[in-house]
Structure 1
Amino acid sequence: MSPEAKTAHWGARQALSKVPAVTVHFWIIKILCTTVGETAADFLSSTLNLGLTTTTYVMAALLAVFLVFQFRAGTYRPWLYWLTVVLISVVGTLITDNLTDGLEVPLETTTVVFALALIATFAAWYARERTLSIHTISTMRRESFYWLAILFTFALGTASGDLVAERLNMGYLPSAVMFGALIGVIALAYGVMKVNAVLTFWLAYILTRPLGASLGDYLSQPGDEGGLGLGTVVTSALFLIAIVGFVVYLTISGRDRDLRGAALPAHGRTASVGRARRAADGRDHRR
């Protein structure tokens, strides 16, 4: 394939991608979303007295609706993508809470079960697509694997975070520091030691969940339980405002699309696809 054809093919593939570029903004919003997932779930089920079961049904229904919109979207849309992440964060938290609080399943068990479920998802994803890269989320099947993996990362992160902070009595702030340090080690492994980008991405993605959950609990829980006592309402509101601010900024600036072809106009994407196809057809003909 000629350099021009490779460029056209890459641009065409990226134009169809449904997820944002992995930038510092991506990680900031992801951590904010995980914190909201923890505090919003507590706010709805406890503060509003909806209960775990009712809250789970309501949030799962909302998630299903916005997943439909996300799947139907032709390309990455910041507000839709991050709203879906917030909702899946809440649902992932509620799944773990239902198992541990409602059914009294030990946190050790839920941590192992969700870890195995995530590994099975990755195995099935790789077996069908031969890649786990988020830069290739351009088909419905890949997007389905992607969102299923994200759901399990949130459920696993909630279970492991609660296991460390509460069951092992480490405390919310020390737990947040520990998970943040682990993410820092992974970042160094990727940046300095050149460890596989896909592996380090998913490891960091998993760890942002207990990091965000520990931060959320530290800010919202009362002082006698090791928190700052801001409450779930204030904490959720602050982080939601921050998420909205970042999403508006990214929507206007397009900073999370700098390395992507998604910002190309429709006729540009069509032309790129056409050039890539013609180049491929010509190469096949020559063979």
Structure 2
Amino acid sequence: MNKFDEASLSKVPQVTLAFWIIKVAATTLGETGGDAVSMSLNLGYAVSSIIFIGIFLVAVVAQVRAKAFHPLLYWVVVIATTTAGTTMADFADRSLGIGYAGGSSLLLALLIASLGIWYRSAGSVSVAAITSHKVEIFYWVTILFSQTLGTALGDWMADTNGLGYEGGALVFGAGLALVAAAYYFTKISHTLLFWFAFILTRPLGATVGDLLDKPLDQGGLAFSRYTASAVLAVFIIACILFLPQKAGSHSGAKAQAD
């Protein structure tokens, strides 16, 4: 590999169909896995959040220190953000007593602040412009907030609007379809659309996860949280092994190399 190739490669994957398939599966695992620890093990939202934030910190340090893109490591960090996001959102919504609206508003403010500070510091929030450790840290903090917000939105939609888990999944799936249409047929910023899609995949995964493991009388399918989590983990590993996962390229890298 020549110097330009090395300089232009990113430590995050290309945003392809495979990326979104694994992302949705990872967010669904985040819901079932987070609930398994906080509810099935009866550890509660606060303790579970501390555990998953600790796992996230260890994983993200390994990711930032890595010299190249490693698909398994990357998705371990994403899954850590989804599990932490599940318990953190539940803690904000329920344990703090501020409800779904209050929790979602707080998390939206944190996400906007993260993106704003990132943009002010780096001049871009594009995933194609992750060229330093500082920017990579902004990327992961923003993902953590987006995953947590997505969980709160999914619970809010499913629990308080009478749609149930299936209806909530359909609403967020339709939202993603609109984002995809905007990507192909409008001139809306692809960076903006990426973050919209990234946020929307989280409540989609949250509602699908709840559909899998909630009791029948609550509109779920009553699968064991452990079983659902194990099946999802195997599916994600299979996708990483058999679906193409290539490092993205830094925007402007060629111009800088020239």
TM range (shorter): over 0.9
- Asked if the contact 2:128/2:249 (under 8 Å) is kept, the reply is no
In the superposition, the TM-score normalised over structure 1's length comes to 0.83
Aligned positions, number: 255
Change (3 A) 1:117 1:20: same
Whichever of the two has the greater Rg, that structure is 1
Which residue number corresponds to residue 14 of structure 1? Answer: 8
Deviation at residue 126 of structure 1 after TM alignment: 1.0
Any residues of structure 2 matched to 1:97-246 within 5 Å, and which?
97-246=90-239
Which residue number corresponds to residue 59 of structure 1? Answer: 52
In the superposition, the TM-score normalised over structure 2's length comes to 0.92
Find the aligned partners of 1:75 and 1:135 in 2 and give their Cα distance: 15
> Residue type matched to 1:64 in 2?
L
Which residue number corresponds to residue 34 of structure 1? Answer: 27
- Asked if the contact 1:8/1:276 (under 8 Å) is kept, the reply is no
**Helix, strand or coil: the match of 1:26?**
helix
Change (3 A) 1:140 1:45: same
Find the aligned partners of 2:218 and 2:154 in 1 and give their Cα distance: 16
**Helix, strand or coil: the match of 2:12?**
coil
Find the aligned partners of 2:188 and 2:84 in 1 and give their Cα distance: 32
Deviation at residue 232 of structure 1 after TM alignment: 1.1
Structure 1: 4+ residue segments shifted above 4 A: 258-261
Change (3 A) 1:8 1:194: farther
Q: Percent of pairs identical after alignment?
A: 36
Find the aligned partners of 1:63 and 1:259 in 2 and give their Cα distance: 22
- Asked if the contact 1:41/1:90 (under 8 Å) is kept, the reply is yes
> Residue type matched to 1:14 in 2?
S
Deviation at residue 189 of structure 1 after TM alignment: 0.6
Find the aligned partners of 1:166 and 1:150 in 2 and give their Cα distance: 24
> Residue type matched to 2:120 in 1?
A
> Residue type matched to 1:180 in 2?
G
Deviation at residue 41 of structure 1 after TM alignment: 0.9
Find the aligned partners of 2:30 and 2:248 in 1 and give their Cα distance: 29
- Asked if the contact 2:13/2:247 (under 8 Å) is kept, the reply is no
Change (3 A) 1:143 1:259: closer
Query: Structure 2: which 5+ runs fail to align?
Result: none
Residues 9-34 of structure 1, C-alpha deviations (whole Å, 9 max, x = no match):
5x44432x110000101001100111
- Asked if the contact 1:222/1:228 (under 8 Å) is kept, the reply is yes
